[in-house]
Chains A and B, each alone.
Chain A
């Protein structure tokens, strides 16, 4: 699985968009980008994933560059409850069942402040 690089920490004002970058310059053509987050003292929570097209759901948007070497997770209107560690994970989705383990890096600690 491709290695990812994320900033250690970021701050964001409540109500503003939070843009969390992820570098995955060694990504291969069949590897997806996944984002999970972990709020303090809780288990990680899935946010979004994508292959090459931009994706949006009720939680966030995922923008993947055309060369796929980097991506940005966007929380359009951050709230205090979005304070968490955000993990960017790159891996192949194995279509044989039973192989979809995740490897978590150190992530980005996002702090949303008033």
Chain B
């Protein structure tokens, strides 16, 4: 299995531009999580989906951020317009979330976003 795939791995953009981060979860996993990591705030959960439905988006910082999961094998996190304070590493994770047992979260390699 290729694991969780994220693209791009690095993104440099200018303030005001739209940024789209992409994630392909592990095949068969039904939960998907988006995290953001900065030196100041550590690793924060932004939003997570279960069976393609957003369950909790309370961590999304503001309306400039949006996330979609159109099908079980693809999710996007979009920032529009981007700001320098959005610079961070964004991680996607997936897990097999069943009511009957524990399943670990598998993290992707992350996308390092720099907004100039």
List chain A positions with a Cβ less than 8 A from chain B: 32, 38, 41-46, 49, 87, 93, 95-106
Contact = CB atoms under 8 A, between A and B. Distances in A.
B110 interface: yes
B33 A101 contact: yes
Q: Provide the main secondary structure of the chain B interface.
A: strand
B91 A43 contact: yes
A101 B55 CA distance: 10
Contacts, number: 60
Contact of B105 (A32, A95, A96, A102): A102
A103 to B, nearest CB: 7
B82 to A, nearest CB: 22
Interface in B33-72: 33, 35, 42-45, 48, 50-51, 53, 55-56
Given A43-B107, A43-B108, A98 B45 contact: no
Nearest 8 A/B pairs, CB to CB: A43-B107, A98-B50, A46-B104, A104-B43, A97-B99, A95-B99, A43-B91, A98-B55
A43 B91 CA distance: 7
Contact of A97 (B33, B48, B97): B97
Contacts of A42: 107, 109-110
B70 to A, nearest CB: 18
A6 B50 CA distance: 31
Contacts of B51: 98
